[in-house]
Structure 1
Amino acid sequence: MSILARYFSKSDLDEIKSAVGVAESKTSAEIVPFFAESSHHYKEWAWLGAFLMGGLSGALFYTVENFYGSLWEGEGKSFIAIVSVWLGAVLGLIITTVFPKIRISLVSRGAKQYFVDLRAKEAFLDEEVFRTKNRTGILIYISLYEHFVRVLPDKEIAKVVPKSEWNEAVRLIVEGMKSKKKKEGIVSSILFCGDLLKKYNIQREKDDKNEISNEIRDGGKLM
């Protein structure tokens, strides 16, 4: 099953595609929505999960020892302590490997932003958003697990539209993801982008063609 099919119905996808068409009817820009479940696999953070669970197991062992009195003596106590730490570490590694949502909860905001920014730039190149005649393409990159959105306009639009103007387009999608109304948030954001481009006179030309298809792109599964 594709990532898009997992999160959107066919009617949802058709509505998003239709919204792109409506937005582009107001401007010469080409809007490319791109949906990724996540921007990185974050498998490195499974080791942090192992470290934390190992430490927690060791702390729990010594807490029980101090509360109930010494249950083991000498080398036996040291051996049990080591085993408890290792068992906790293995359990932590397994849990954070099998359940990506737990793993991603260990990742710092800064690290998430780094991978989202990197993957968004890769998507801009992979989808050839730059290949419009007047360099008026826009990528709307959505990363679900991170709850981050990036709007990457090509150079001719970036010259005209201030970066701060895209904040509302980002907010609409993020709020939609948080409220479990992903499709509605994406549609609203796309339509907002169309109005914003019209506001800044990115006019639709008489001979304007649909240079990039209107479907939302499937970012695949990384985690």
Structure 2
Amino acid sequence: MSILTRYFSKSDLDEIKSAVGEAESKTAAEIVPFFAESSHHYKEWAWLGAFLMGGVTGVTFYTAQKFYGLVWSGESFFAVLSVWIGALLGLSITALFPKIRINLVSRAAKQYFVDLRAKEAFLDEEVFRTKNRTGILIYISLFEHFVRVLPDKEIARIVPKSEWNEAVKLIVEGMKSNKKKEGIVSSILFCGQLLKKYNIQIEKDDKNEISNEIRDGGKLM
């Protein structure tokens, strides 16, 4: 099952695609919505889970000895064993359950991988392949709730970077309020109005240079 059909109904996808067509009818730009379930697998952070759980079990063992007077023969062996058991348990849990693992990842690390994957998507989808370099990638990373808007160089030259903040905000708020489709549609239509505001007008011989199909970035977790 693709991530698009997992997160959106057919009517949702049709509305998003229709919004792309409507926004593009007002401007020379080509808007490319790209969905990724996540921008990285974050499997490296399973080792942090192992470290933290090992520490917890080690401290628990020490506390039981120190404050409750529990005494075993071979205490050192059991102390080391408790740390190893905790570490293996932490590694297993965080490796098997992505939703737990991602909570160990810093915001800066998530932003790094989202930025990297968005740039890769821009190139993979050939958003630069327009006559006047007027493509726009709207990159949506569902698991992280992060969004990036990457305009090609001609649009970036005309539209200030800060103007895209509202497009990002509409999608993020939609995801947080469980209204993903509404937020995405509003964001795409906003992009159309923004480009019209900056006079990036549709040309008489305008062609649909990039398909309006929604891109499925697949599953990484």
Pair in the same fold by TM > 0.5: yes
Which residue of the partner structure matches residue 27 of structure 2?
A: 27
Question: 1:139-187 CA deviation, whole Å, 9 max, x = no partner?
Answer: 0001111111100000000000000000000000000111111111110
The DSSP-based 3-state class of the residue aligned with 1:35 is strand
Write the letter of the residue equivalent to 1:154.
Answer: D
C-alpha distance in structure 1 between counterparts of 2:183 and 2:65, whole Å: 53
What is aligned with 2:140?
142
Alignment match, 1:215: 213
Deviation of 1:71 (Å):
2.3
Matches within 5 A, 1:1-223: 1-73=1-73, 76-223=74-221
| Letter paired with 2:134 | T
SS of match in other structure, 1:129: coil
Other structure's SS at 2:147 match: strand
> Runs of at least 4 residues of structure 1 off by over 3 A?
none
The alignment partner of 1:16 has SS state of: helix
Residue 151 of structure 1 aligns to a residue whose secondary structure is strand
**Amino acid of the structure 1 residue aligned with 2:61:** F
What is the distance in 2 between the residues matched to 1:88 and 1:60? Answer: 10
Cα distance between partner residues in 1 of 2:118 and 2:197: 25
Q: Which amino acid aligns with 2:2?
A: S
Q: Aligned-pair distance for 1:116?
A: 0.5
1:62-115 deviation per Cα after TM superposition (whole angstroms, max 9, x unaligned): 112222103214xx1111111111111001001101111111110111111111
CA distance in 2, matches of 1:144, 1:88: 31
Instruction: State the AA in 2 paired with 1:81.
Output: A
- Contact 1:13–1:215 (CA under 8 A) maintained in structure 2: no
- How many Å separate the matches in 1 of 2:28 and 2:165? 21
Q: CA RMSD in A?
A: 0.7
For 2:128, the aligned partner's letter is F
Identical aligned residues as a percent? 86
> Which segments of 5 or more consecutive residues in structure 1 lack a partner in the other structure?
none
Secondary structure of the structure 2 residue equivalent to 1:176: helix
